[in-house]
Structure 1
Amino acid sequence: MKRLLAIRTLRGRLALMTLVTSALWIAVLTAAFNLALDKRLQAQADDVLRTRAEAVAATVEARPDGKLIVREPAEDQGLDSGVWIYQGTRVIEAPPSSPAGLQKQADRLAGHRGVFADSAGPGAWRLYAFPVEATGGKAQAGTVVTSVSLDPYRSTADTALVGSIVLAILLLATVYLLTRLVVRRALRPVAAMSAQAAQWSEVGAPERFGSQARPAELASFAANLDALLDILAAVLRNEQQQAAELSHELRTPLARITAETDWLTRRPRSADEQGASHAAIASAAATMQQICDSLLSEARTRGSQVPGRCRFPDVADRLAQQSAAEYPGAPAVKVEGEAVSVGVSESVTERILVPLLDNARRYAVHAITIECTAEAGRARVYVSDDGPGVPEQFRASLFEPGRRAHPEDGHDGAGLGLALARRLARAAGGDIVLADAGPGSRFAVTLPVG
């Protein structure tokens, strides 16, 4: 089994497995054939002994006084060879010559009826005792013992054994070679499909194997490869989109840092001017860090197998206090709703809600509300404001990267906050939608319950 597992090719393993299975079956069939042949040859030898004994017994006459008279037919050399005739235990006729020890074995059979025995001396002989009935058939007057050499029969059996072994070896070699040939031809389309799939996956080609006529196994293999290629293509598109969005969003703060650095180095500035430039550079750098953290969180959340956990309204209260501390002039954030455990980590939950709160704070007039409810095994968080709401013509592209409803409002972002928040929510197993129309905007964040 270790050698079987050491074979790395599927063709080799299948061929070896077929060889082992065939060897077991052929060994069983060869053994059964030779056993059956051996029994058949022994039965033939017994038939010869019995027939000769009956023929010899027909030439023996038992008198009323118990004496046996042997009538000698013409040309009885065939009957006399290997034949003993006993009256009681006394031999009255014996073959001219017999192997050593065969006479004693024949003597032991005198007086028996219908008994077979094998000689214990050199050579292989089989003997048979046939009774000679007395007149009236009430007693056994004598015994005819016949013998036959088993050497011809055993020679036939040995020849058959050697022939069957040679035939089995040739058959196994043929089975092994044919199995390797058939498996190689059967796997050739699989190897071609695998190579084609690898080539397509490297370049992101849109080609697929499709549902053209193939054997059932290859059709299933092609379908699975197509599904895998679709997943790889989706991952590639996602990575490309993420890189494009990252570069797009980072362009604005990076341009601001470059401009402020240029402005500082061109001529001497006052302390206030330098402080303002440093603050602008720090703000742009913080924005860049927030963007990078959001995208990295989305990537880690999408690939994570173990979700985090946090509890509402604890996260919402902390965000409300943070908003009040950082933006003292902005409308206060009010937290409402049930206490719900969410199956997402605190950091990811915060990164989902912060862009929504920034958006609400930008347009709110008097109030911002965070409300949490549990609905059918899902946690739903609503972020609302009492601002002008989302323009009708902008709702279809609300979550598209780089889109802003009011580009002239003085906000220096690039319109990626809502897009990143939705991507992060979906990576965590939830979603973000615009809940309903009307005065102000109301976003619904759906997250799994922890």
Structure 2
Amino acid sequence: MNPLLRRLAPRTLRGRLSLVALTTAALLMTVLTVAFTTVTDRHLRHQADDELRNRAAAVATTIDTAGPRVRVLETANDQLLDANVWIYTGTHLLEQPPSTTADSTLTRAAGRLAAQRERACSTADADSPHAVRLCADPVGSRHRATVVTALDLAPYRSSADTLLLGSLILDAVMLACTYALTRLAVGRALRPVRTMTDQATRWSAVASGERFGTDGRPAELARLGSSLDALLDRIRTVLRHERQLTGELSHELRTPLTRIVAELDWWQARPRTTAETEATHEVIADAARSMRTICDTLLDDAREDDTATAPGTTAVEPVLRRLAGPWRGRTVLDVTEPELAAGVAPALLERIVSPLLANAVRYARSTVTVSARQAPGSVRIEVTDDGPGVPAAFAGDLFQPGRRADPGDGHDGAGLGLPLARRLARTVGGEVSHDPGHTPGARFRVDLPAG
């Protein structure tokens, strides 16, 4: 694009759409104006020709062609009929307007029309402001005489010019209204987009859990809202994953770093023997190797992360299928969406669901159902069994560490599985809960952020 045109081109979508609408309307108005002007000129010319032929018919009533010679009958007050009228017999001029001469431009034009001996019209001085329209009409059955009438086209052209000016003014008004209304309409249409963009910017800055949703929005804005919600979920998941990774890294590196600092403090406290120095070096080297192993492990996990999902997200179905594998004959997996993703790491999802599934298999009479579905802003996983269920008296202590409903049931558990699952879920903004209204059996829900 030409640099000048690039600088002049509107920079906003509203300006560009308004310019497109203005250009389209201008082309349409130009076509309509040209068509209107053409039709108007043709209509005015037909009006002029009709008037000329009516006058010629009136003059023809005064011409006698019955005798051997063509005669023009004189009538009272025939000055009006004689104005701008030529009468020919063959090519011989019988009468002409008093204001013209035999060699004038109009008389010569009238003679040429009369020589054709047929109905015809032409315009004399068509390009000048004083154009005159002439029409020839033969008289009599044998066309022995011809009447040529003339009419000044100035009034007709003045009317055509007035109509053209009015059309141009109307076009200008229509184009101005089109541009203004288009800018107004596009601005109002884009206002929700601007509002949603500003909200998404504010929410992403603080990793807010608020979302746009799709209720009460036009289809296009609902689709945009869904895309922005998915993007905000990914941003929140990535930030949560980074915080979790930072916390894990800090926790894992704290021990070897503490060992290094302690050994250095001990070594610097007083002069040490060679054996003590070598022992200190060995401890520091071992701590450094431990730190390197931790870093390598984290890097390997990052490299092996599934590229189809964002960091810190997990495809739910493969994890649930892997967990249910050892009890394939007793578990039923029900995932409504194969692409369902949770905003947690795979290992964390396993650690949350695993104790729930193990308890369900332990207490189920025949079948355990593991289902997963998309909920507004989250992923819900439900583990349901057909066992005896949770005793009502124990429901309040269900998630208390070290508490068991029946310590003498022969199971060697310590009562830590459910509390650990809830604690892990809450660290990532999720929740593990028990559905007391489900009977028979027990149902546990896991709500996790959507991936």
The separation in 2 between residues aligned to 1:303 and 1:77, in whole angstroms, is 105
Match for residue 132 of structure 2 among 125, 138, 158: 125
Equivalent residue letter for 1:119:
A
1:51-450 equivalences under 5 Å are 51-65=54-68, 67-98=69-100, 100-111=104-115, 112-120=117-125, 123-133=130-140, 137=141, 139-299=142-302, 302=305
**Which residue of structure 2 aligns with residue 324 of structure 1?**
none
The separation in 2 between residues aligned to 1:177 and 1:20, in whole angstroms, is 13
The separation in 2 between residues aligned to 1:247 and 1:98, in whole angstroms, is 114
Once the two structures are superposed, residues 94-123 of structure 1 have per-residue CA deviations (whole angstroms, 9 ceiling, x without a partner) of: 111149411111111223211111114852
Once the two structures are superposed, residues 245-266 of structure 1 have per-residue CA deviations (whole angstroms, 9 ceiling, x without a partner) of: 1111111111111121122112
**Which residue of structure 2 aligns with residue 379 of structure 1?**
none
- Checking the alignment, whether the CA contact within 8 Å between 2:119 and 2:136 is kept in structure 1 is yes
The separation in 1 between residues aligned to 2:169 and 2:25, in whole angstroms, is 15
Deviation (angstroms), 1:283? 1.5
Provide closer, same or farther for how the CA distance between residues 156 and 106 of structure 1 changes in structure 2, counting only shifts above 3 A.
same
Aligned-partner SS, 1:117: strand
Match for residue 37 of structure 1 among 37, 40, 58: 40
Aligned-partner SS, 2:86: strand
Structure 2 spans left out of the alignment, 5+ residues = 309-411, 425-451
Equivalent residue letter for 2:221:
L
Once the two structures are superposed, residues 26-70 of structure 1 have per-residue CA deviations (whole angstroms, 9 ceiling, x without a partner) of: 1111111111111111111111112111221122110331x1122
- Checking the alignment, whether the CA contact within 8 Å between 1:101 and 1:120 is kept in structure 2 is no
Q: How many residues are aligned here?
A: 311
Aligned-partner SS, 1:84: strand
Deviation (angstroms), 1:267? 2.2
- Checking the alignment, whether the CA contact within 8 Å between 2:62 and 2:72 is kept in structure 1 is yes
- Checking the alignment, whether the CA contact within 8 Å between 2:109 and 2:124 is kept in structure 1 is yes
Provide closer, same or farther for how the CA distance between residues 7 and 108 of structure 1 changes in structure 2, counting only shifts above 3 A.
same
Q: Does 1:20 align with 2:27?
A: no
Provide closer, same or farther for how the CA distance between residues 205 and 78 of structure 1 changes in structure 2, counting only shifts above 3 A.
same
- Checking the alignment, whether the CA contact within 8 Å between 1:49 and 1:148 is kept in structure 2 is yes
Aligned-partner SS, 2:134: strand
Deviation (angstroms), 1:163? 1.3
Provide closer, same or farther for how the CA distance between residues 282 and 209 of structure 1 changes in structure 2, counting only shifts above 3 A.
same
- Checking the alignment, whether the CA contact within 8 Å between 1:57 and 1:132 is kept in structure 2 is yes
Deviation (angstroms), 1:302? 4.7
**Which residue of structure 1 aligns with residue 395 of structure 2?**
none
Aligned-partner SS, 1:211: coil
The separation in 2 between residues aligned to 1:39 and 1:219, in whole angstroms, is 54
Deviation (angstroms), 1:300? 5.3
Aligned-partner SS, 2:216: coil
Deviation (angstroms), 1:396? 7.4
**Which residue of structure 1 aligns with residue 14 of structure 2?**
11
Structure 1 spans left out of the alignment, 5+ residues = 306-390, 404-450
Deviation (angstroms), 1:75? 2.7
- Checking the alignment, whether the CA contact within 8 Å between 1:53 and 1:146 is kept in structure 2 is yes
- Checking the alignment, whether the CA contact within 8 Å between 2:214 and 2:223 is kept in structure 1 is no
The separation in 2 between residues aligned to 1:146 and 1:393, in whole angstroms, is 122
Deviation (angstroms), 1:297? 4.3
Deviation (angstroms), 1:201? 0.3
The separation in 2 between residues aligned to 1:147 and 1:159, in whole angstroms, is 23
**Which residue of structure 1 aligns with residue 392 of structure 2?**
none
Provide closer, same or farther for how the CA distance between residues 297 and 98 of structure 1 changes in structure 2, counting only shifts above 3 A.
farther
Provide closer, same or farther for how the CA distance between residues 37 and 276 of structure 1 changes in structure 2, counting only shifts above 3 A.
same
Deviation (angstroms), 1:292? 2.1
The separation in 2 between residues aligned to 1:393 and 1:30, in whole angstroms, is 90
Aligned-partner SS, 2:147: strand
- Root-mean-square deviation (Å): 2.8
Equivalent residue letter for 1:186:
A
**Which residue of structure 2 aligns with residue 351 of structure 1?**
none
Deviation (angstroms), 1:77? 2.9
